Amino acid sequence: MDNIYTHLVRIAKSDRTQRLNTITDILTECGICHRLQHFETGTNAVISYSGHNDFDIIFMAHHDIASGTIQGANDNTASVAVLIALSEWLQTQNLHYNTHIAFTDHEERIGAMLSENVTNEDRFRIITSIGSYQLLKTFSAARVKAVINLEMSGIGDRVFIAESSGNVPCSAALNSRIAAAADQLRIRHSSVRISNSDLLSAHVRKMHGTVIGALPAGEYVKFGSYPVPQAWATMHTPQDTIDKIEQPALEMMLTLLKTIVDK
Ligand SMILES: [Zn+2]
């Protein structure tokens, strides 16, 4: 799957309103069946493969980028490109569970929910405008084994496994399974606390979930309410560009995901 980087460059260089079209063009060119889920405020792209057992594993990455961003290379085009490569590979696999890959819209609105001045009605309006919530609404929580959300998959020599995202705790059982998969592959991993993400939608829908991505080494700097590695400080700025992406990070993430997929 040496195409991950090529996919990333193509999506990141698209006009921001054309990003989803570029993603679906790539999926079509790769022969990957997908569907679009339109909702009032946006659109998700979803790929589904059936397994032998009627339970669901959902991988997701937001395809929208923050308003101050031009390419959004690491947040979150890298994760989208990794999941496209995973989808290509899944086409040839015999799967234990139904496996879904989703590219979700409007993750970047989640931050608005944190504001102290937001009323409960506003919170409800915001959550229903978020793609991951609209996606997970279409699944029955009792059948969903895991929701694995990817963020920041393009820079770093190790993997982060989030302990929490905003106020939402990640599934400890799921995290230890992912950590075991990383150990098996000799991929280094660290537990981190990250800011709000699409994990919120899994929490609202009462599904087990976590957030993973690539983690750069080096010093942490203050960024919003959480310290982040220096290389993440370009997040939500025009400096989140493709020249900073490390191809080995993309490959590392794909390798780990292949191991996580339960056959
Ligand atoms: Zn993001």
Give the DSSP letter of residue 121: H
Ligand 1 centroid – CA 207 distance (Å): 20
What's the CA-to-centroid distance between 94 and ligand 1, angstroms? 31
The mean per-residue pLDDT over the stretch 118-143 comes to: 92
Q: How far is the CA of 224 from the centre of ligand 1 (A)?
A: 14
- pLDDT, one tens digit per residue, over 99-112 is 999 999 999 888 77
Is 77 in a helix, a strand, or coil?
helix
- DSSP β-bridge partners for residue 44: 37
Report how far ligand 1's centroid is from the alpha carbon of 254 (Å): 18
Q: How far is the CA of 76 from the centre of ligand 1 (A)?
A: 5
pLDDT digits (tens, 9 = 90+) for 133-165: 999 999 999 999 999 999 999 999 999 999 999
| Nearest Cα residue to 74 out of 254, 227, 196, 243 | 243
Question: What is the value of pTM for the model shown?
Answer: 0.96
What is the distance in A from the centroid of ligand 1 to the CA of 195?
A: 9
Nearest-angstrom CA–CA distance, 213 and 26: 22
Q: Residues with beta carbon < 5 A to ion ligand 1?
A: 75-76, 151
- pLDDT tier, 1 (very low <50, low <70, confident <90, very high otherwise): very low
Separation between Cα atoms, residue 82 and residue 4, nearest integer Å: 6
Token pair recorded at residue 11: 């999506």
Rounded to the nearest angstrom, the distance between the alpha carbon of 106 and the centre of ligand 1 is 10
For residue 233, how far is its CA from the centre of ligand 1 (angstroms)?
12
Using one digit for the tens of pLDDT, what is the confidence trace for 80-92?
999 999 999 999 9
The answer, yes or no, to whether residue 263 has pLDDT greater than 60, is no
Ligand 1 center from residue 215 Cα (angstroms): 14
Tens digits of residue pLDDT in 31-86: 999 999 999 999 999 999 999 999 999 999 999 999 889 999 999 999 999 999 99
Question: From ligand 1's centre to the CA of 153, what distance in Å?
Answer: 10
Number of Cβ within a 10 Å radius of residue 66? 17
144 alpha carbon – ligand 1 mean position (Å): 23
Rounded to the nearest whole angstrom, what is the distance from the C-alpha of residue 79 to the centroid of ligand 1? Answer: 9
Ligand 1: centre distance to CA 52 (Å): 32
- Determine the distance separating the centroid of ligand 1 and the alpha carbon of 253, expressed in angstroms: 16
DSSP states of the chain: -TTHHHHHHHHHTS-GGGHHHHHHHHHHHTT---EEEEETTEEEEEEEE--SEEEEEEEEEE----TT-SS-IIIIIHHHHHHHHHHHHHTT---SEEEEEEEES-GGGGGGGG-TT--HHHHHHHHHTSHHHHHHTTS-GGGEEEEEEE---SS-SEEEEEEEETTEEPPHHHHHHHHHHHHHTT--EEEEEE---THHHHHHTT--EEEEEEE--S-EEEETTEEEEGGGTTTTSTT--GGG--HHHHHHHHHHHHHHS--
Backbone angles phi, psi at 74, to 5 degrees: -85, -35
- Span from the CA of 212 to the centroid of ligand 1 (angstroms): 11
Percentage of the chain lying above the pLDDT 90 cut: 85
Cα of 55 vs centre of ligand 1, distance in Å, is 27
Q: Residue 41 and residue 127: Cα distance in Å, rounded?
A: 11
In order of their start, the domains of the chain are: 4-260 (3.40.630.10)
